[in-house]
Structures are given as structure tokens and as C-alpha cells.
Amino acid sequence: MGRNSPEWLAPASLEEALALRASFRDEATVLAGGTFIGILMNQNILKPQTLLSLHAISDLAFIEARGGNRETSYLCIGAMTTHRTVESSALVHRMCPILASTFSLVASPRVRNQATVGGVLADADYASDPPALLHALNAKTLARSTNGEREIPVEELILGYYETSLRPDELLVELRVPQNVERAVYRKFRSRSSEDRPCVAVAAARVEGKLRVVVGAVAERPQYFPDICALAAGEAGSDESRPYSRELAIEIGRRYAESIDPISDSRGSAEYRRRVIAVEVRRALEEMNQ
């Protein structure tokens, strides 16, 4: 390595990685797929002194089903599983097809062959596709340290721009997607045809009869308003066969647009995003009826 290259730590097991994480804590930057961190390093935005690479830990690359019935079963995905593996997995297509289709929308095949499930969540990149959907699905993550493990809902994991609730000694090791989802859709709005990142991302899901609408790529973290979603309770309830009316879809879209304070960036101004939010939330709910 060059004189200014970071120290490279490459543990061969999860136990070794956790020990190094406990020792270095925030002094070491965790490297999963490296697609996001690599960009930051190339642009000299991030200059880590130490990189803790998880590439050699094969135990963190898996997809499996756990649990006995729909109410208690999960689709579990290891943190080092690539996006491409998720989108092409027969098990994912059978248990949660919306997950496969959403991961297939991320960037390019080259990026998806490298980017990991754990990385996209731990990076907390506001303009990535999966977080909004995983939030809507009420998915959870598993964090582990030398002191034990804890389950963190995706809803509570992402705190702000590139900030998570992971502790300095923890590694994100697993994603858990519940199988009590009755219907889900994901809509990705691009403001430019050449741009692979969303200007506005909308995920809608009905989980145990309750509507969850999450808007991503418009603020520091995915936006979810349970009180607005509760407007659907009297209309659809827990009956999957009852559609959401157009009037309800318009009203929920309008309220989401009014409740969110969107950012302005190269993909769109705040006012532009606000108009798109109203339309895309409405369309997501209409798509839920199909």
C-alpha cells in the first residue's frame, strides 16, 4: 500500500471481526461491498486511517427462511449478501418478490454484484432504493457485538444523513423481513433518464391489515406518518379484497406532501419533490389495488 493508504484489517471470522470492532470502534471504517465508501474515498470526502473489511466472512452471505407460519416467519438475509444475489434468489422471489424487484432497480449490474444488503443499510444513504421499502415492510436488522446482539427495526436504524443507531462496537449482521405482509409496492421516480438514483421513492405495504406508506430520497431519513396512514383503517381495514378509493389515495398523497420538508439537490428542488410526492403516493395506493 502507498504511504497514505489506510491500514487494512481482514478478519476471517465474525468473532474476529467483532473483536476488532470492539478494539478499534469508530477508529476503523467498516467495509462491506465498498461501492459507497469507495466513492467517498475517491472523492477525498472520506479518509479512513483503518478499514475493517468483512469480505472474507462467508457466514454473513446467506438467504434463508425461518419460522413456522406466516405470522411468525421471516426471510433472513446475511449482511454480506449482494444485491444481485437478492434479486436473483428463487427463495426471495417466492417469499417476497417485491424485495427482489426493488433490489434489481439499484444502480447497474456491476454495482449490484458488489453492493451488499448490510452495507446499504449501514451507510444510511438517503437516496438509495431499499431503505424505504424495508421500512414499509416493517423489516428488522440484527446487530452484534462482543457483548451480545440486539434487534433493530429499520425504522429505528436510520437516524439521519449517513447516521445510524448502530453502536461503535456493533456490526450489522442480518436483515429480517417478516412474512405477514399482505401486499406491497415500490415506486421509483427518476427526474433524469440518465440518473439511477431516485428523486422520490415511495413504498406502500399492508402489514397485518394496516397501511404503511414510506417516502424515501427526499429527506435525511425515510418519511413515515402513521397518523396519515391510519386514514385507511376505516376504508380497507384488514380485508385484503377491499380496495383503497381514489379519493383516499389523493388525500393521503396530499397530506404526505404537506407533512414532508423535502431537500433540494441535483435531482430536484424541494417544491418539485413535494409535487412528485403527492402524485407518487397516490399512484402507489392505486397500484396496491391491482
Domain boundaries, position 228:
182-288
Q: Which of 171, 112, 120 is nearest to 145 (CA)?
A: 171
Domain boundary among 146, 178, 210: 178
Residue 232 has pLDDT above 50, yes or no: yes
Q: Specify the CATH number for the domain of residue 122.
A: 3.30.465.10
- Average pLDDT, rounded, for the chain: 94
Q: Specify the CATH number for the domain of residue 213.
A: 3.30.390.50
Domain boundary among 178, 202, 230: 178
Domain membership of residue 257 (yes or no) is yes
Burial 19-53 (b: 16+ CB within 10 A, else e): ebbeebeeebbbbbbbbbbeeebeeeeeebeebbb
Single pTM value for the model: 0.94
Name the domain count of the chain. Answer: 3
Domain co-membership, 39 together with 102:
no
Domain membership of residue 64 (yes or no) is yes
CA distance 139 to 143: 13
Domain co-membership, 160 together with 231:
no
Which cell numbers hold the place of 10?
Answer: 481482514
pLDDT in tens, 214-223: 999 999 999 9
Domain membership of residue 1 (yes or no) is no
